[in-house]
Amino acid sequence: MTIDLSTQLKGVLPPVITPLTSERRLDAASAESVYRFMLKQGAHGLFLFGTSGEGPLLCEPDREEATEIAAKVVKGSVPLLVGVIAPGTEQIIAQAKVAKAQGADAVVVCPPFYYPASQKDMLVHYRTIREAVDIPIFAYDIPVMTKIKIELDTLMTLGKEGTIIGVKDSSGDAVGFHRLVASKPPGMKLFTGAEMLVHAVMMAGADGTVPGLANVGPELFVQLYEAAAAGNHQEAVRLQEAIVRLFEVFVCPDGTMNVGYIIGSMKTALRLRGIIENDTLFHPFPACTPELIERTETIMKEVGCL
């Protein structure tokens, strides 16, 4: 089955976690279980190896095995997006070539990081990747991780010239994202990673969402998207309010937030739902504590995800 990204790239694309064994290698059986679970819940596509998927921490053999499993599960029914996150252009080209060979429909590409990069450098980065690999590219704007923002003018230039087909926006810049939605070139796909803003950006004209919280409650996001798309805004608001409550699983008991705790709550949620066997994280993230597990379970029950 051939994917038509112009029509099928929309809705909820969970940035799925990567299940690990106790030895911190890919748990292949649990990975397949996660991918099948997301499709059963109505996900409109899958995004592998983003921040939620601990993509930058995976070894190449595990990345390749997980991609192969996902491609077999999806079988061309929905878009499969593969994150290629590395500090250098040549590293990303190598990963993108493998992803394409394994059946990815598009790759999600972060800007260059570690060495300081200008907006001009970013244009060179994305154009070089596009010239080297014949696969659609999403720009992954996540400055909290890469320490560099892809500016609106840069995204517009890349979109207008066809270097990128869309943006996965995890910048936290709601105003900037609305400006991008308002001025995007025809055919450019825009997805938000901001769980709290899904209804608002859908109303503004976004194509969908790639929310890490979908690892905890994918059904809520699918229902919200479908309600908003059908014009049932009262129901969409109700679901957005439930998502706001579910978001509390990401908040530490002391009111702070950190990446290890957030990914741990995602994996805990999927283990509690019987989808994965372990909630193991890569080092240096700490193991999931009894307090995290209890808090996650309580909130999930409150919103009907358990």
One digit per residue, the tens of pLDDT, for the chain of length 306 reads: 678 999 999 999 999 999 999 999 999 999 999 999 999 999 999 999 999 999 999 999 999 999 999 999 999 999 999 999 999 999 999 999 999 999 999 999 999 999 999 999 999 999 999 999 999 999 999 999 999 999 999 999 999 999 999 999 999 888 999 999 999 999 999 999 999 999 999 999 999 999 999 999 999 999 999 999 999 999 999 999 999 999 999 999 889 999 999 999 999 999 999 999 999 999 999 999 999 999 999 999 999 999
User: Domain 9-217, what architecture?
Assistant: Alpha-Beta Barrel (3.20)
Q: Is residue 267 annotated as a catalytic residue, yes or no?
A: no
User: What is the C-alpha separation between 234 and 59, in angstroms, rounded?
Assistant: 45
Phi, psi of 191 (to 5 degrees): -125, 140
The residue annotated as part of the active site, out of 10, 126, 168, 261, is 168
| 108 in a known ligand binding site | no
Vertex 220: Cα angle to 52 and 209 (nearest 5): 50
Q: Where are the domains of the chain?
A: 9-217
User: What is the C-alpha separation between 60 and 88, in angstroms, rounded?
Assistant: 16
Q: Is residue 168 annotated as a catalytic residue, yes or no?
A: yes
pLDDT at 172: 86
pLDDT at 152: 96
pLDDT at 1: 62
The residue annotated as part of the active site, out of 10, 35, 126, 140, is 140
Distances from the Cα of 174 to the Cαs of 170, 183, 197, 208, 251, in angstroms?
10, 14, 8, 15, 21
User: What is the C-alpha separation between 96 and 129, in angstroms, rounded?
Assistant: 8
